[in-house]
Structure 1
Amino acid sequence: MVSHLPPLLLIGCGQMGGALFRAWEKNGLAPSVIIDRHRETVATPHSLARSIDDIPNKFSPDAIVLAVKPQKAIGTIAELTAKRPDLLANSPVIISVMAGCTTQSLASTFADSPAGLSPAIVRTMPNTPSAVGRGMTGLFAGTGVSAEQKALCDTLLGAVGATVWLDEEDQINALTAISGSGPAYVFLLAEFLEQAAIEQGLPQDIARLLARKTITGAGELLDQMPEDAAQLRRNVTSPGGTTAEAISILNAPDNWPSSIPEAVAAAARRARELAA
């Protein structure tokens, strides 16, 4: 648990930006500025701004976090560099949580500004469990990111869960397909289990409870036990028993063994298309 975090400029405080901000508040965030058009207020000592025009004078963040929708990235950076280039005077690290925006595209946008800026940029891909402190975030450091800036990014994203640094930026597309999109796969499994339980004659409220608690309990067991997933599965699967019967269906060549890799490959392919 970190005890203090430096001042930040957070641009965008929606689902992901909001989850990050809540975690940073709990970890002693120094007085920071949050730009968001929809929030009514933020807790003291932080400041809420409706636009870049409202950022207090002399504010000097150690990091600028871009958490707007990807299609707004160019406009946001252009406005920031045109109206408040002073915010980059002390070389804050730029942290992007925008899917599909490469470090090169962001660097080009900063370079095209009147001042020809070239800040250090770190691209990140958190996932939605970050909202409950159980996130998984992949990070990639662009050109010129210092060891101290990497450490800061690791601390900030580590406040919402586990972190991993990637050696190549293209790897973030595979990470997106696994941990970024992965929670949706788990939620879909919960849907299927709930429906299957109802079809077996269980009331909906019990079916939902069974599906959710089974998945969350299994996830916690997987997280805490030293055995790999295959061994944990074998521990549950008695030869000739009920679990073995179900696993034989799921393990049929045209079921999970082919559909899971196919689904992940499709997600990774789409991530690359969006980043093009």
Structure 2
Amino acid sequence: MTINIKKSLVALAGALAMAAGAQAADLNSVIKGDQRSKEYAARDQYRNPAETLKFMGIEPDMTVVEITPGGGWYTEILGPYLSEKGKLYAAHFPEDSESAYYQRSLKNFKEKLAGNKEAYKNVIITEFSPQTGREVAPAGSADAVVTFRNVHNWMYRDYQDKAFDSFFAALKPGGILGVVEHRAKPGTSMEDMIKSGYVTQEYVIEVAKKAGFELEEASEVNANSKDTAKHPKGVWTLPPSLRLGDEDKDKYLAIGESDRMTLRFRKPKS
């Protein structure tokens, strides 16, 4: 009897290990998939999507909300990864926005999804509009909310608090909030953060905690020690923006994309 129990436990452990390995392989295969544009895939060396999503705890059977997906850099990964067992709410720019840029971005995003209906079959477009109070997803429905390089934009418009409140509302108790943001040096003023696009890690944590989140862990997976966070055109001096054009282009290409914080917060279970 004891031998049989031991054999059963060994078999179970092996099955679990195989399942975990298969899940990891699925994410890696999605990242290498044909649905990804070559331009986007070239940035993997800076954005580390596999390591980032694993750190955030994103699994293929989750309901995930991606905030302002823009051109769909992460949607190209999250959409297919969640396509069979999960769901992705893409909280994009408002449909009724008066901004020509917002309208163009939303139109292009919809065309991307329509161009590969199988990969994006479980993607639902919602709106991210903190100033109007619209839901990014039905209240209490999401296992995770993720946002990449967006916090500085909300600070410019002074609705960062409302943004984090909307994430808290969308999440189930115990849900995850994953944040990647350009990182300013400690002590950087609010004015300089807004102007440069770099935000202190302490400030992001402060805003998240104010909304009710608990910081679970910080990762250096997207750190870049070459980045001083002090550039003529702020973070947009670096690739992919290269706001100075050919001026010192090789210098900024050698630095690469910005130094970034990667944070995982948790909505309390009660």
Give the structure-1-normalised TM-score. Answer: 0.35
- Which structure features the higher share of strand residues? 2
Q: Say which structure, 1 or 2, has more relative contact order (CA 8 Å, 6+ apart).
A: 2
Bigger radius of gyration, 1 or 2?
1
